[in-house]
């Protein structure tokens, strides 16, 4: 379903989802050509969770995210060119080249820190929530992490602290481990987590927890906005598990694009290789959203194509900017590690 | 309720063992007050039934891991009280040649592998021993003791998860005495029963009266059967109370005297004796002589310990690496 | 000048800090370890209880919480109590707090203080006698303050809280009852400024924390043998006042370093390396270190006494350097 938003709101969500999709796809050839090194993780296949969820927040709310952070930063409004420059380690990057993909931040947008250590941010999110409560500034913290984080001891420790102290934090778990052709299939039991469903873990601490279909933008939007409102009202922490089907491009050791995204795929996937076809047909949240917009007559196919063209132009310019940005001077390594 | 087909010798022996622990701990307390023992000691007075009830179901080659309050666990597993007392007194004749002290007891010969001063520190270790035991396929298992304070520590959760996933033969024994150091459990978490965490990870669990020797024994018997049959981990939560402070010297002002009085009425030794008397397995005179024997043995252990030499300074270089 | 006990000076500092800045929160311990002087902590609770949080036994969790809170505008002071417990929180301290400012290109500040009690405390055995400051010195991004006197603990704690960097505040239980002069209306002590605790001319004896007090006693004894020892206390490891040490060595030409961290990669090792690199020509004799031996700390009292930087080992080292 579609989020309950006016048409321009819906189109803006659509634009941001396309932005994330084309940004992420642009990284693959850059990496494969050696323009940047190190590992990187793409948010493709999760756009309908991040974009509607983050749209529910206020400008001064805090967000914490993990190594899979590009989508979250872009959803929140970070400039694609500066994020790309950071991933390339250039001086015009968000972190001046010092963080790289895993640690991109944008404090003015509420992203104080990203951690590449699984579950590294979960205790931190209880901290900003604690501070917000103490300073009475009404800020909510959203902690975005994957299902793997729940295996780390840091997660239950943080849940306990959040629950005990009624901290204003939303734990938003993106479980992209759902395998299966159709969306009706719920995420199966993980081979590395004995608890099932995952919502049992926060529930043990009396934290209200629910599982939702992360591909349903409208459901994500409604669930997150309700949860955030409760948290802002002083109800204490909440937990949402949003389930998506893992993008086939992640299956290889290094990301690869099975088929470049184009809005026309929403109606015809015949050009996609058989292995990935089913995913693009039923599990791609961006294409699902696009189809629903058209079906609900909130946009025409042409309008959507136009949005996508504009996004592609923006991304191409971002790539040009980032590649042209210089590397930081080597001496910079010795500076700016103490305030 | 005790099972009907019990061997009376065995039950009396369990009472004897509980008295040995009680007498031992009381002597350690006295020696500490007399400054014959230094550092930190944490006594398990009041928690004897938990130690004895569970260990009674184990074999000598089963692994046991403890925490900072583990003198009783070691004794229940069969540790020699002379060497145990000597260790707590820091003497060369102690189990660890004076190197471990009260919180780091190791009595390998009887399967008590190690204790720890870090809350929950041995839980992952027990996992490892269970893993090795499983590989060995001889039906061995591992048992680990910890308190309610460990329930909020990350490694506890990680261990429950792994034990469940890999179906490891480990028995988690939580001695929930209501206090983690100086604060009640309610200040640490909203959960009242730690067995709930076991449930979250799909581990069979039970909560028992930790001061009822027979209830503990019964739960342990079932657990051991299951674990040895390869059915995976079990969690037993024993509700009990420590009659002393967190450590010797802790005035325990955080505890109501009325609470202490309530628990005195539930003293595990008195209750076990009462049951045995009611079943005509033992008379008052015998109970007295059991206490007397225990105290006599403990006196000998204390004398042995205090007469033992200190370790030579050069010993610091031994046992650093194998 | 008035005299205070070390623990009194520390709590005077905490009281002034809490009163001056509403952003300061205390997390976890009593800052007293097992000291009987609980009253000073309870007094603090009466005044500032709503800014004092007692979490469960979850070092990883609450050190992370403190770090995140610092990122979001508070200035928390965490008391880990026993120094070895920082190992439970290592990922949050070393991976997150230490790196955040640098990784973000200077955007995210982490004004958190991690307070702990280090060292040989008398029967602590291997898991309660750790001195993690050497390992933490090897984590760039952390400041490290390590007082040895009532005046220093008060002055350094204030600077630690005022600093925008994550700071490790290394204390010692054996210092708590020490008495010393603390001026009224004292000023915060800047980081990176060493203190000459005893002026001398024959040997420079460098030490931190409780070992400073052991060194002062050793120096008194040696004075009777007409060996005049200068005791230099760096007071902070990061930033480190190498200049003060070099200027002392310029005078004495001899140096002994005494420290409770283990010998290998310990605090004395790093100081020795820096002196060797920059002050080699000033030295008449080789650098000598008196560190805790490279063995896990045994429980038994004579063993614990043997492995530490004791007064007799320090005296031996000084005698050897003037021989």
Query: Which residue of chain A comes nearest to C142, CA vs CA?
Result: A338
Are C116 and C146 in contact by the 8 Å Cβ rule? The answer is: no
Q: Which residue has the tokens 């640098």?
A: C102
All domains of chain B, ordered by start, with CATH? 8-126+206-228+238-308 (3.40.50.970)
Q: Is C300 at the interface with chain B, CB within 8 A?
A: yes
Q: Which residue has the tokens 């949003």?
A: A242
> Is residue A325, in this structure, part of any structural domain at all?
no
Are A199 and A238 in contact by the 8 Å Cβ rule? The answer is: no
How far lies B143's CA from each of B67, B170, B223, in Å?
12, 6, 10
Give the pLDDT of residue A254. Answer: 84
Please indicate whether residue C128 is annotated as part of the active site.
yes
Express each pLDDT in C115-167 by its tens digit. Answer: 999 999 988 888 889 999 999 999 999 999 999 999 999 999 999 999 999 99
Handedness of CA B211, B216, B218, B219 (dihedral sign): positive
Give the pLDDT of residue C307. Answer: 92
Express each pLDDT in B263-318 by its tens digit. Answer: 999 999 999 999 999 999 999 999 999 999 999 999 999 999 999 999 999 888 88
C-chain residues near B98 (CB < 8 A): 298-300, 303
- Report residue A112 as tokens: 């104080």
Give the SS3 label for residue A114. Answer: strand
Mutate to test the interface with A, among B161, B167, B195, B197 (most CBs of A within 10 A): B161
Is the per-residue pLDDT at C16 higher than 50?
A: yes
> Is residue A186, in this structure, part of any structural domain at all?
yes
Give the pLDDT of residue A39. Answer: 83
Is the per-residue pLDDT at A186 higher than 70?
A: no
> Partners of C28 in the beta sheet?
C79
Is the per-residue pLDDT at B135 higher than 90?
A: no
Helix (H) or strand (E) holding A98: none
Could A154 and B154 be called an inter-chain contact, meaning their C-beta atoms sit closer than 8 Å? yes
Give the SS3 label for residue C233. Answer: strand
Spatial separation of the C-alpha atoms in residues B309 and C133, rounded to whole Å: 35
Percent of chain B predicted with pLDDT > 70: 98
Spatial separation of the C-alpha atoms in residues B77 and B58, rounded to whole Å: 8
Is the per-residue pLDDT at B4 higher than 70?
A: no
Among the residue ranges A182-191, A210-219, C266-275, the one predicted with the least confidence is: A182-191
Are C236 and C189 in contact by the 8 Å Cβ rule? The answer is: no
Are A41 and A47 in contact by the 8 Å Cβ rule? The answer is: no
CB pairs A-C closer than 8 Å: 157
Phi/psi of residue B280, nearest 5 degrees: 60, 30
Give the pLDDT of residue A37. Answer: 84
Give the pLDDT of residue C192. Answer: 98
Q: Is C61 at the interface with chain B, CB within 8 A?
A: yes
Sheet holding A141-146, edge to edge: A111-114, A62-65, A141-146, A169-178, A238-245, A209-213
- pLDDT, averaged across chain C: 95
**Host domain of residue A175:** 7-320
Provide the whole-model pTM.
Answer: 0.88
Spatial separation of the C-alpha atoms in residues A51 and A290, rounded to whole Å: 14
How far lies A294's CA from each of A189, A213, A287, A328, in Å?
35, 21, 11, 46
Query: Which residue of chain C comes nearest to A91, CA vs CA?
Result: C105
Q: What's the N-to-C CA distance of chain A in angstroms?
A: 47
* E strands, B87-192, in order: 112-114, 142-147, 170-176, 179-180, 183-184
Give the pLDDT of residue B251. Answer: 83
Could C88 and B118 be called an inter-chain contact, meaning their C-beta atoms sit closer than 8 Å? yes
Q: Per the structure, how many domains does chain A have? A: 1
Spatial separation of the C-alpha atoms in residues C283 and A218, rounded to whole Å: 75
| Closest chain C C-alpha to B246 CA, distance in angstroms | 12
Handedness of CA C206, C208, C211, C216 (dihedral sign): positive
Q: In 3D, which of A165, A314, A2, B216 has the Cα closest to residue C56?
A: A165
Q: Which residue has the tokens 């634009």?
A: A15
Phi-psi region of A77 (alpha: psi -120 to 50; beta: other; left: phi over 0): left
Question: What is the domain-level CATH number for residue A27?
Answer: 3.40.50.970
Cis bond upstream, residue B236 (ω within 30): no
Helix (H) or strand (E) holding A73: helix A70-76
Is the per-residue pLDDT at B238 higher than 50?
A: yes
Query: Which residue of chain C comes nearest to A96, CA vs CA?
Result: C105
Give the pLDDT of residue A183. Answer: 45
Give the pLDDT of residue C56. Answer: 83
Express each pLDDT in B45-102 by its tens digit. Answer: 999 999 999 999 999 999 999 999 999 999 999 999 999 999 999 999 999 999 899 9
Is the per-residue pLDDT at B169 higher than 50?
A: yes
> Partners of B146 in the beta sheet?
B174
Express each pLDDT in A35-70 by its tens digit. Answer: 998 889 999 999 999 999 999 999 999 999 999 999
Spatial separation of the C-alpha atoms in residues A319 and A309, rounded to whole Å: 15
Give helix C210-223 / helix C311-322 axis angle, nearest 10°: 50
The residues in C 87-126 lying below 8 A from B, measured between CB atoms, are 88, 122-126
Express each pLDDT in A82-116 by its tens digit. Answer: 999 999 999 999 999 988 998 999 999 999 998 98
Sheet holding C52-53, edge to edge: C52-53, C24-28, C75-82, C113-117, C167-171, C143-145, C236-238
Spatial separation of the C-alpha atoms in residues A62 and C101, rounded to whole Å: 17
Spatial separation of the C-alpha atoms in residues B139 and C94, rounded to whole Å: 42
Q: Which residue has the tokens 């069969």?
A: B78
How far lies B90's CA from each of B33, B322, C27, in Å?
16, 22, 34
> Is residue A153, in this structure, part of any structural domain at all?
yes
Res. B6 pLDDT band, cuts 50 70 90: low
Length of chain B equals 322
Burial class (CB within 10 angstroms; exposed 0-12, middle 13-18, buried 19+) of C228:
middle
Are C292 and C308 in contact by the 8 Å Cβ rule? The answer is: yes
> Is residue A18, in this structure, part of any structural domain at all?
yes
Helices (H) and strands (E) in chain A, counts: 11, 6
> Is residue A338, in this structure, part of any structural domain at all?
no
- Report residue A311 as tokens: 């996004």
Give the pLDDT of residue C73. Answer: 87
Express each pLDDT in A282-314 by its tens digit. Answer: 999 999 999 999 999 999 999 999 999 999 999
Phi/psi of residue A58, nearest 5 degrees: -90, 160
In order, the DSSP letters of A247-312 are PGGGSSSS---SS---GGGGT--TTS-HHHHHIIIII-HHHHHHHHHHHTTSS-HHHHHHHHHHHH
- Report residue B267 as tokens: 């003293």
Query: Complex ipTM, two decimals?
Result: 0.89
Spatial separation of the C-alpha atoms in residues A24 and A21, rounded to whole Å: 5
Are B16 and B10 in contact by the 8 Å Cβ rule? The answer is: no
| Mean pLDDT across B172-189 | 90
All domains of chain C, ordered by start, with CATH? 3-181 (3.40.50.970), 195-322 (3.40.50.920)
In order, the DSSP letters of B17-70 are HHHHHHHHHHHHHHHHHTTSS-S-----TT-HHHHHHHHTT--TTSEEE--SS-
Percent of chain C predicted with pLDDT > 70: 100
Please indicate whether residue C262 is annotated as part of the active site.
no
Could B99 and C34 be called an inter-chain contact, meaning their C-beta atoms sit closer than 8 Å? no
> Is residue A336, in this structure, part of any structural domain at all?
no
Helices within chain C (DSSP H only): 6-20, 38-48, 59-71, 90, 98-103, 133-137, 150-162, 210-223, 242-252, 267-279, 301-307, 311-322
Considering C25, C115, C118, C128, which one is annotated as catalytic?
C128
Is the per-residue pLDDT at A185 higher than 70?
A: no
> Is residue A2, in this structure, part of any structural domain at all?
no
Give the SS3 label for residue C4. Answer: strand
- pLDDT, averaged across chain A: 94
Considering C8, C12, C25, C59, which one is annotated as catalytic?
C59
Spatial separation of the C-alpha atoms in residues A42 and A15, rounded to whole Å: 18
Helices within chain B (DSSP H only): 8-33, 48-55, 71-76, 81-88, 123-136, 154-165, 195-200, 213-228, 257-265, 268-278, 284-307
């Amino acid at each position: 379903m579609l989020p309950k938003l006016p048409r321009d709101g819906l189109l803006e969500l659509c634009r941001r989802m396309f932005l994330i999709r084309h940004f992420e796809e642009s990284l693959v050839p850059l990496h494969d050509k050696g323009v940047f090194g190190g590992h990187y993780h793409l948010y493709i296949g999760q756009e309908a969770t991040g974009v509607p969820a983050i749209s529910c927040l206020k400008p001064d709310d805090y967000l914490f995210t993990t190594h899979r952070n590009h989508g979250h930063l872009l959803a929140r409004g970070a400039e694609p060119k500066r994020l790309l420059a950071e991933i390339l380690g250039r001086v015009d990057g968000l972190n001046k080249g010092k963080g790289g993909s895993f640690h991109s931040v944008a404090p003015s947008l509420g992203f104080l820190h990203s951690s590449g250590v699984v579950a590294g941010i979960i205790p931190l999110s209880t901290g900003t929530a604690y501070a917000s409560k103490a300073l009475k500034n009404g800020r909510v913290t959203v902690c975005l992490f994957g299902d793997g984080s729940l295996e780390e001891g840091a997660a239950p420790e943080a849940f306990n602290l959040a629950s005990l102290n009624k901290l204003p934090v939303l734990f938003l778990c993106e479980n992209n481990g759902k395998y299966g052709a159709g969306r009706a299939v719920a995420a199966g039991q993980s081979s590395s987590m004995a608890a099932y469903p995952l919502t049992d873990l926060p529930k043990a601490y009396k934290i209200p927890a629910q599982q939702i279909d992360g591909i349903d933008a409208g459901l994500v939007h409604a669930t997150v906005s309700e949860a955030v409102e409760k948290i802002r009202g002083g109800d204490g922490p909440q937990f949402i598990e949003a389930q998506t089907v893992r993008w086939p491009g992640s299956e290889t050791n290094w990301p690869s694009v099975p088929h470049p995204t184009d809005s026309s795929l929403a109606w015809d996937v015949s050009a996609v290789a058989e292995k990935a076809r089913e995913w693009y047909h039923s599990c791609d949240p961006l294409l699902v959203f696009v189809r629903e917009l058209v079906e609900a007559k909130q946009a025409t196919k042409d309008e959507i194509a136009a949005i996508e063209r504009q996004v592609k132009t923006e991304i191409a310019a971002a790539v040009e900017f980032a590649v042209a940005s210089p590397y930081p001077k080597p001496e910079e390594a010795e500076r700016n590690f103490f305030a | 309720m005790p099972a009907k087909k019990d061997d009376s010798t065995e039950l009396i022996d369990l009472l004897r063992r509980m008295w040995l622990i009680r007498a031992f701990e009381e002597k350690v307390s006295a020696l500490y007050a007399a400054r014959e023992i230094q550092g930190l000691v944490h006594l398990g007075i009041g928690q004897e039934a938990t130690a004895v009830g569970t260990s009674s179901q184990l074999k000598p080659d089963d692994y046991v891991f403890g925490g900072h309050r583990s003198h009783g666990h070691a004794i229940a597993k069969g540790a020699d009280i002379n060497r145990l007392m000597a260790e707590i007194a820091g003497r060369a004749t102690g189990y660890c040649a004076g190197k471990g002290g009260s919180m780091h007891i190791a009595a390998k010969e009887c399967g008590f592998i190690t204790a720890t001063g870090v809350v929950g520190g041995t839980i992952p270790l027990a996992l490892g021993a269970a893993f090795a035991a499983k590989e060995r396929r001889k039906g061995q298992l591992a048992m680990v003791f910890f308190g309610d304070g460990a329930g909020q520590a990350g490694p506890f959760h990680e261990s429950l998860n792994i034990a469940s996933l890999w179906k490891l033969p480990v028995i988690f024994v939580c001695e929930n005495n209501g206090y983690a150091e100086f604060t009640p459990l309610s200040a640490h978490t909203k959960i009242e029963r730690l067995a709930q965490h076991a449930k979250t990870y799909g581990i069979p669990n039970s909560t028992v009266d930790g001061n009822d020797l027979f209830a503990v024994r019964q739960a342990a018997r079932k657990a051991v059967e299951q674990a040895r049959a390869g059915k995976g981990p079990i969690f037993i939560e024993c509700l009990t109370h420590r009659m002393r402070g967190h450590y010797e010297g802790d005035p325990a002002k955080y505890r109501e005297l009325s609470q202490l009085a309530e628990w005195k009425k539930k003293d595990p030794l008195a209750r076990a004796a009462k049951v045995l008397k009611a079943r005509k397995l033992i008379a008052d005179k015998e109970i007295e002589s059991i206490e007397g024997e225990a105290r006599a043995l403990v006196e000998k252990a204390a004398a042995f310990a205090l007469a033992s030499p200190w370790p030579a300074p050069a010993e610091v270089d031994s046992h650093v690496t194998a | 000048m008035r005299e205070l006990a070390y623990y009194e000076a520390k709590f005077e500092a905490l009281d002034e800090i809490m009163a001056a800045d509403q952003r300061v929160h205390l997390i976890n311990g009593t800052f007293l370890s097992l000291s009987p002087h609980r009253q000073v902590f309870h007094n603090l609770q009466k005044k500032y209880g709503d800014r004092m949080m007692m979490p469960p036994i979850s070092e990883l969790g609450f050190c992370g919480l403190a770090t995140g809170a610092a990122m979001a505008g508070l200035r928390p002071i965490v008391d880990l109590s026993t120094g070895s417990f920082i190992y439970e929180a290592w990922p949050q301290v070393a991976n997150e707090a230490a790196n955040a400012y640098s990784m973000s290109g200077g955007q995210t500040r982490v004004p958190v203080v991690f307070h702990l009690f280090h060292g040989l405390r008398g029967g602590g055995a291997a898991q309660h006698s750790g001195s993690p400051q050497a390992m933490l010195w090897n984590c760039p991004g952390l400041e490290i303050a390590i007082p040895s006197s009532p005046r220093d603990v008060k002055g350094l704690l204030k600077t630690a809280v005022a600093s925008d960097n994550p700071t490790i505040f290394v204390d010692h239980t054996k210092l708590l009852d020490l008495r010393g002069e603390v001026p009224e209306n004292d000023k915060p002590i800047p980081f990176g400024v060493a203190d000459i605790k005893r002026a001398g001319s024959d040997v420079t004896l460098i030490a931190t924390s409780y070992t400073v007090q052991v060194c002062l006693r050793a120096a008194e004894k040696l004075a009777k043998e007409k060996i005049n020892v200068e005791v230099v206390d760096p007071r902070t490891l990061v930033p480190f006042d190498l200049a003060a040490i070099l200027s002392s060595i310029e005078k004495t030409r001899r140096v002994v370093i005494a420290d409770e961290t283990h010998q290998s990669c310990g605090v004395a090792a790093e100081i020795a390396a820096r002196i060797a690199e920059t002050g080699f020509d000033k030295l008449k004799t080789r650098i000598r270190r008196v560190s805790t031996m490279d063995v896990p700390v045994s429980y038994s009292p004579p063993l614990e006494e043997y492995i530490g930087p004791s007064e007799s080992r320090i005296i031996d080292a000084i005698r050897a350097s003037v021989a």
